Amino acid sequence: MAFVAHLIPEKLRLILYSMVESDYLPLISLALREDLGDLGDVTSQAVVPDEQGAAALWSKDTGILAGEAVFSAVFRQIDPQTTVSFSMHDGAALRKGDRVAGVRGKTASLLAGERTALNFISFLSGIATATHSLAALARDSGHAVILDTRKTLPGWRALSKYAVTVGGGKNHRQGLYDMILIKDNHVDAAGSIAAAVRRVRDRWGTRFTVEVECRNDAEVEDALDAGADIIMLDNMDPDRMREEVRHIAGRAKVEASGTMNANTVPAASAAGVDYISVGALTHSVRSFDFSLKID
């Protein structure tokens, strides 16, 4: 697995320290509150001396690192005097046995934050690793870009979508507020795809990108006639996708959606679509395996 750090320029890495900070700091507070309760780490309070210590974060897996800032912020919330130094950074390819970071501070503070910090960085690195794998499959068979979806754990959206970017994917809409996506319920409410798109243009003009979910040839034709920017091919097999891409002929971008995974992404990309959206990236990936060992 090659390094993908070149995908993460410094200004993008800073997203996790600034723009998303308002999202992940409250999430860290919630996680620590549910783990420490009112009494804190009662085991360490009884067993561990009140002295300084050090720990190392080790990779026990192979994949892509994501979430260094969140990992560090966990320990800062417990004790601002704790320091975390990463020797590898978001976007780096990890192998089993890599020393990823060092943590220094009161030993009791290190133990109090251990599980919460690992939960964050393990889940985010799992997302980045899965995204990187699918992006490589899509790139090897076509030109499709892997997209995430809104199928995220509540409260985790900003972090999860950041991890997708670290892994080499791109973000679809962040929420219901930054893009138009006309689906079957919208079409039913408006009466037709044409009517739905017309109402969007009447209300918002060209402010938002307009995507239309299509399940058959007729809907694709209606979306094209209505001037959709992106046409989502929902649950179509690769042969059907290829025919639709040929028919659309560049008049709109094309997205493949529906049960996309390592088995289906290569054929979808080979069919010529521009995007492949994968909900599993942010709701059911395998967590990356790390350990934090006290020196």
> 203 catalytic, yes or no?
no
Active site residue 183: yes
Please name the amino acid found at residue 138.
Answer: A
Among 33, 95, 99, 183, the one annotated catalytic: 183
DSSP string, 73-109: HHHHHH-TT-EEEESS-TTPEE-TT-EEEEEEEEHHH
CA-based torsion, 36, 40, 42, 45: positive or negative? positive
- In 3D space, the residue among 263, 198, 218 whose CA is nearest the CA of residue 237 turns out to be 263
Residue tagged active-site, from 23, 234, 243, 289:
234
- Give CA–CA dist 54/103, Å, rounded: 6
Residues 241-274 as b or e (16 or more Cβ within 10 Å = b): bbebbeebeeebbbbbbbebeeebbbbbbbbbbb
Chain-centroid distance of CA 277 in Å reads 11
Tokens read off for 170: 């791109």
Please report, in angstroms and rounded to a whole number, the separation of the first and last CA atoms in the chain: 29
Ramachandran area for residue 17 (φ above 0: left; ψ -120 to 50: alpha; else beta):
alpha
Of 151, 240, 242, 253, which one is the catalytic site residue?
Answer: 151
Is-catalytic flag, 60?
Answer: no
Question: From CA 27, how far away is CA 257, in angstroms rounded?
Answer: 30
Active site residue 234: yes
Indicate which residue of 60, 104, 115, 240 is catalytic: 115
Instruction: Say how far apart CA 70 and CA 213 lie, in whole Å.
Output: 35
Catalytic residue among 213, 219, 244, 255: 213
Compute φ and ψ for 170, nearest 5 degrees. Answer: -130, 155
Active site residue 151: yes
CB-based contact 245:271 (threshold 8 Å):
yes
Residue 23: what are its φ and ψ, rounded to 5°?
-85, -45
Residues with a catalytic annotation lie at: 115, 151, 183, 213, 234
